[in-house]
Chain A
Amino acid sequence: MDDLFDSSLNLEDTHYKEGYDEGYSHGLVTGKEEARQVGLKVGFEVGEELGFYRGCVEIWTSAIRLDPTCFSPRAKTFICQMEELIQKYPLMDPENAQVQEIMDSLRLKFKMACSSLHVKLEYNGYPKSSTEVNDIQF
């Protein structure tokens, strides 16, 4: 009786493992491609936002270079802080634990810089509508 049950359980294990191995190898392929699609979207969005802040800072620093008195000291401080955060951002390291913190700081400094400069600038690329973005397939 024990032998009979053992035999039956072994057979079930064999079936399960067979299925598991097959599913795992399929999962590696489909999972990698699905994750790559997500990575492409997120990478573009993150890169664009960071590039936007960098572009703003470079225009502002060019202006300061021409006329050091064109912006208030407070505004200049925020612009400098933005520059530091941009340089600090590990663009090619998506797994870095600091990325979210740095981006949040950047967003805050950007708003404060714009306020000091009295300009109504806004980054329009914020992923406001996730359903739209999900439609895009690479």
Chain B
Amino acid sequence: MEGRFAEELYAESLQLSKLELTSTSADDQENKANVCDGDDLSLWDESDDKLESSSDLDREWQRRHDQFHTIGYRDGLIAGKEAAAQEGFNFGFKQSVLDGHSWGVVRGVTSAFSHLPHQLKERLIETQKKRNELLGLYESVHSLSTTDCLRLFSEEIKAQEALEQSEHSEVSHHTAGLQEQPSHGSELRNYREQLESLIRDSPAIDIHLPKPK
């Protein structure tokens, strides 16, 4: 009888103790869940809100800016080029037309002379030596195409512009003067000078070769 009661008493106590533990554990879990949910929500809300207000809006503004700025730039570039085209062309044209003309006269004189009847050649240039020189000059000049001449002229222009730039940057006039003296003897200029020399010695040919500049 006593033994049985003791068993009953202990069993009941043990059971109560278990229930308490379970209840506490459940409460703890619930609390954690709440805290976790709350944090997640607030974090999510905040981060989402920030993304929406700063990154997205900035990206949208930048996208629109780039789009319209690019379209405007392209239109402006075309308009600017059109506005400058005539002025630029005229400037370049005037830089080269007299040189081209001077060279063309050399071409024309040497070509026309080489195709004259022999007796006229003899009367225009009396010495055989000088006639041969002029005909030799014709061969040299004739062998250059306009493309060749443009290339030679282009090199001349570049050299001249490079010289002008170095002059501007030069402090000493003396040095600049020295640099100027050995002026680039261009091929075209040499041929023109040869022709000038031949014509000077032949009074029958009354030609005034135009100076390039």
Contact = CB atoms under 8 A, between A and B. Distances in A.
A124 B88 contact: no
A55 B107 contact: yes
A119 B68 CA distance: 64
B207 A43 contact: no
Contacts of B75: 19-20, 23
B136 interface: no
A133 B151 CA distance: 9
Contact of A121 (B79, B111, B145, B151): B111
A91 B151 CA distance: 22
A4 to B, nearest CB: 14
Contact of B73 (A19, A37, A48): A19
B93 A39 contact: yes
A51 to B, nearest CB: 2
B101 to A, nearest CB: 4
A57 to B, nearest CB: 8
Contact of B154 (A38, A48, A123, A137): A137
A136 B97 contact: no
Contacts of A91: 97-98, 101
A41 interface: yes
User: For this complex, into which size category does the number of interface residues on chain B fall?
Assistant: 35 or more
Contacts of A119: 115-116
Nearest to B145: A124
Interface in B70-124: 70-113, 115-117, 120, 123-124
A49 B104 contact: yes
A70 to B, nearest CB: 6
Interface in A2-34: 11-12, 15-34
B146 A124 contact: yes
Contact of B83 (A22, A28, A51): A28
A83 to B, nearest CB: 12
Contacts of A26: 73, 76-77, 80
A1 interface: no
B76 A22 contact: yes
B100 A46 contact: yes
A51 B104 contact: yes
A19 B68 contact: yes
Given A29-B84, A121-B111, A121-B115, 8 more contacts: A19-B72, A20-B75, A27-B79, A52-B108, A54-B101, A63-B124, A91-B101, A137-B154
25 contacts: A22-B69, A23-B76, A27-B76, A27-B78, A27-B79, A29-B80, A31-B80, A34-B88, A35-B89, A39-B90, A40-B157, A42-B92, A42-B93, A43-B92, A44-B103, A45-B100, A45-B146, A45-B150, A47-B96, A51-B103, A52-B107, A70-B117, A91-B97, A136-B150, A138-B158
Interface of A: 11-12, 15-63, 65-67, 70, 91-92, 94-95, 117, 119-121, 123-127, 129, 132-133, 136-138
Interface of B: 64-65, 67-113, 115-117, 120, 123-124, 142, 145-147, 149-151, 153-154, 157-158, 204-207, 210
